[in-house]
Structure 1
Amino acid sequence: MGKTSLEDIIKVSIELKADYNNIIKNNNIELEISTDSRDNFNENKLFLAIKGEKFDGNKFALETYNKGCRYFILSDKEVKLPNDALVFYTDDTILFFIKLAREYRRRFNIPIISITGSCGKTTAKELTHLFLSTKYKTLKTEGNLNNEIGVPKTIFNLDNSYEIAVIEAGMNHKNELLRISEAAQSNTVIINNIEPVHIAYLGSIENIALAKSELFNHTKENADAVINKNTNCTDILKKEAEKNNIKNIIETDIKEIIKKDDNTFEYKGIIFRHNLIGDFNLYNILSALKAAELYNADLQKCADILSSYESQKNRMQIMNIKGCNIINDCYNSNPTALKNMLKFLSQRRESKKIAVIGDMLETETENSSYHKEIGNIINELKNIDTVIAVGNLSKDIYDTINCEKYYFEDSESSIKKVTEFLKYDTAMLIKASLGMKFSLIIDAVKNI
């Protein structure tokens, strides 16, 4: 991870009106940041305490001191350290981290592309990185580091060897992307889609669009916006982009892609082949291609490299167990993504089709019925033979569907039934929100 300077720490401390307990004698010190007390520490490393719902980094400050750490950013003034420790006390250490990342980002005169959306943002990020890497050394968000802690960590991975960066930005509450936007200071913002994801927290699809649009804040001069014309609330997205002085607004339209077959399409006269499943992934590819064009990557080279791309772990991966083709998509779930995957399952050629479905968390409100809608969609598709529903919310799916069906309260109790359907010439979709722990099901079928 890149280093912050004591000068930047003092600058942010003044901005946030933080307290610190010592006289600063040398502002030119460079310090590596750690948010994990389990790391190795020395006098050139700073410990930034993150306080979450289940943990409090402040409680481990003394432990890091005993390992050799002498610089601290804490939120609990009750934590007292020996006199040779320099401690900055601030109400919000995550905001402090974000602003430190902002200062670090300003050291690099390179473009940053920030990507958000309700569905597919990780795939869009990976594809954007893939295409841009044909021309530039490109930094990208690793894994799921797309929140208020993960984005600063990614920015601190910048060094002088990188020519461009692709940042994935996620949220489930208002103002998260506003804060993230300050760290990224993007040159290009891509909003892939607006769907009813995290609607339980945000209340409406319009509020989701406004929350996603927060990423337009703090953009660089002459920034670009890439917006999916085929999604919800594009009028809100464009209005918010314009409000933030983004004049170059590019609307992607799926009609720009000429589909040849399930794994081949034509774009601007060039044939692209890919291994992604479902037509919905064409939107992710198109967003990435627009970014490639903005930064003058060769489209033919993008086409050449796309054929080598494979889906990320637990995202639309197909594996064969005992002759059954399992579609492992258990990283996350929402109404739009689940509908897309059910449609994909229904169109497969296997003689028997099984859907193992868990709760879509953070979706239902007092007035919504997304799980019942999923049940109705399964009935309309008709050729899904069996559904195994898992979780409290998925009871609504179970109660609505007409096909062969089974219900379980949790993933672990469903495993025995799932394994009974691992048979030749069968396709099985396994999909749920991450909190449903469907990885237990995946691990179990892999070990059969």
Structure 2
Amino acid sequence: MITRSLEAIIRMLDADYIEQGNMNVQIKGVCIDSRKAVAGNLYVPLIGARADGHAFVKEAIQGGVAATLWKRDVPNPPADIPVLIVDDTLDALQRLAKAYREQLSCRIIGITGSNGKTSTKDIAASILSQTYRTYKTLGNQNNEIGVPLTLLALADDAQAAVVEMGIETMDEMDLLSEMVQPDIAIITNIGEAHLVNMGSKENIAIAKCKIVKAMKPKGLLIYNGDQKVLRDAVARLERDDIELATFGIQPGNDLQITALATSMDHISFSINQEAQRYELDMIGAHNACNAAAAMLAGFALGMCDEAIQRGLNHVEKTGLRNEVMQIGEMLVLNDSYKSNPQSVEAALDTFDTIQAPYKIVVLGDMLDLGEEEIMIHYHCGKELAKHAVDEVLTYGELSAFLCQGASNVLSCPCFHFTTHAELIEYLKPYLKKTCAMLIKGSRGMHLDEVVEALKGSK
């Protein structure tokens, strides 16, 4: 974590300050939640839609913070610790992260894309940690608040860091790139997530490619060469001082995945038609592409095949993504963190590899898909005909159309639910039956709560 004198923090922010309390303190880390404040922290009171962090500064002081940022026009700053006056606390947090990143010597891999960011982050961090002191984004802290917190959590002696970078609008990547300044950037793929804000997949590709805006000269952009929309966006980049590398299934990629094999607990593959096999302790064929992107980053940093294979064997996975668990007699594939048409198809492909006498698919709404959201859900339901499914359950307003699409092509039961409680009660009897369930939906549908309720009722 950032460890600097208060004087250094003031210089990094070019902030005004109220000289009170102990001005000789050493800042050790930052916090934005007064409940999580620890001794030595710099408290950053953010103003949100529901709460203003300035109102909780007393709790932060009780937690031991050494100093606080303070928005210039907010009255009554605390009188017992140093106060750094800024025009906007979020902007100050981001500027501090940018200044700190510029003082670090570690190599940073920035990862963006419509799907697979978190899995690729986990794989890349595991690979790099075999050779380097490596840090990574925790959980899903990948936005305008999470990215600066991730950077400020890096240790001074970090040798490598893997930073997830998520965007919802056309211009957000400009800000994230300026903070992260990646040495290596990865774009996993382009899908339909956030169409409501960006309008088209072409626009999404252009927005994602802005990850190279603040990339250092001679940096490396790794991207999915199977997608024409992404190839076209990369071709329009006005950066002739960076290297390019592609991955994918199709011939012509710099790293082509070949001889892919899947099972219920891992996948294996070769690259570029070579005999050597790589094994990844994750499920789902789509994770081969995520692994390929991470491997290219490892190769670029001079890592050998042996170290890369060790990393693939010991991935520390972020929860709620392709998480396999046993609840009673039911085997559950919990993929309830996010959802869009591409990730649903990938989850169904993964579910196809699971052997069970009875297979249930639970799908929630896919959010932020724009004007075509109803038809997208309907067609997604029709796509279920390609998969081995014995029962389809849907939850949410939009998923009613998904259920309708499924009903039109499947002879199996298809039921729609409007509350968690109804869905949970319906599923409880299956906990005593030998079966498998895939559960997937956008984060806003909170289908992870259904899983937790089932775990508590077994």
Per the normalisation by structure 2, the TM-score is: 0.88
> CA–CA distance in 2 between the matches of 1:217 and 1:370?
33
Match of 1:94 among 90, 93, 101: 90
Report matched runs for 1:278-289 at 5 Å.
278-289=284-295
1:326 aligns with 2:321: no
1:252 equivalent to 2:247? Answer yes
Matches of 2:309 and 2:301, distance apart in 1: 16
CA spacing shift, 1:298–1:446, aligned 2, 3 Å: same
Aligned to 2:253: none
Structure 2 counterpart of 1:3: 3
| Cα separation, partners in 2 of 1:82 and 1:306, compared to 1, 3 Å | closer
Q: Contact 1:146/1:167 (CA < 8 Å) preserved in 2?
A: yes
| 123-132 vs 315-324, which moves further | 315-324
Kindly state the Cα deviation for residue 157 of structure 1 after the two structures are TM-superposed.
2.3
Q: Which moved more, 1:311-320 or 1:193-202?
A: 311-320
| Distance of 2:387 and 2:64 partners within structure 1 | 64
1:144 has 2:140 as partner? yes
Question: How far did 1:342 drift?
Answer: 2.0
The aligned runs of 1:233-244 (5 Å cut-off) are: 233-239=229-235, 242-244=237-239
Does the alignment pair 1:446 with 2:458?
no
User: How much has 1:58 moved relative to structure 2?
Assistant: 1.9
How far 1:407 moved relative to its partner?
1.2
Return 144-153 or 303-312, whichever deviates more: 303-312
For residue 443 of structure 1, report the CA deviation from its aligned partner.
1.4
RMSD: 2.7
- Hey, what does 2:34 align to over in structure 1? 37
Residue 68 of structure 1: how far off its partner (Å): 6.3
The worse-fitting range, judged by mean Cα deviation, of 403-412 and 30-39 is: 30-39
Q: Is the 1:225–1:246 contact (alpha carbons within 8 Å) kept by the matching residues of 2?
A: no
Deviation at 1:279, TM superposition (A): 1.2
Give 1:23-62 correspondences, 5 Å limit. Answer: 30-32=26-28, 33-40=30-37, 45-62=41-58
Secondary structure, counterpart of 2:414 in structure 1: strand
Q: Secondary structure at the match of 2:285?
A: coil
Secondary structure of 1:333 counterpart = coil
| Percent of residue pairs bearing the same amino acid type | 30
Match of 1:417 in 2: 426
Deviation of 1:366 (Å): 5.2
Report how far residue 10 of structure 1 moved. Answer: 4.1
1:159 aligns with 2:126: no
Q: How many angstroms apart in 1 are the aligned matches of 2:81 and 2:311? A: 51
3-state SS in 2 of match to 1:257: strand
Greater displacement, 160-169 / 327-336: 160-169
Deviates more, 1:415-424 or 1:91-100: 415-424
Contact in 2 for aligned 1:271/1:303 (Cα 8 Å): no
Distance 1:55 1:247, change over 3 A: same
1:371 matched to 2:377 = yes
Partner of 1:406: 415
CA contact (8 A) 2:122 2:317 kept: no
Range 438-447 or range 30-39, more displaced: 30-39
User: What is the Cα deviation at residue 64 of structure 1?
Assistant: 3.7
Question: Deviations 1:393-448 (Å, cap 9, x if unpaired)?
Answer: 11111222223111111323210112233454422111111121112211122230
State the shift of 1:260 in Å.
4.8
**In 1, Cα distance between the equivalents of 2:156 and 2:62?**
33
Instruction: Map residues 56-205 of structure 1 onto 2, 5 A cutoff.
Output: 56-64=52-60, 71-75=67-71, 77-81=73-77, 86-205=82-201
- Report if aligned partners of 1:359, 1:391 keep a CA contact under 8 Å in 2: yes
Letter in 2 for 1:171: I
Distance 1:161 1:200 in 2: 41
Q: What is the DSSP-based 3-state SS (H/G/I as helix, E as strand, rest coil) of the residue aligned with 2:103?
A: coil
Partner of 2:268: 264
* d(CA) in 2 for partners of 1:185, 1:304: 28
- Seen in structure 2, the aligned counterparts of structure 1 residues 271 and 68 have a Cα distance that, compared at 3 Å, is closer
Indicate whether 1:396 and 2:401 are aligned.
yes
| Structure 1 residue ranges, 4+ long, deviating more than 6 angstroms after superposition | 26-29
Q: Does residue 358 in structure 1 map to residue 364 in structure 2?
A: yes
Report SS of the residue matched to 1:38. helix
1:338 matches 2:335: no
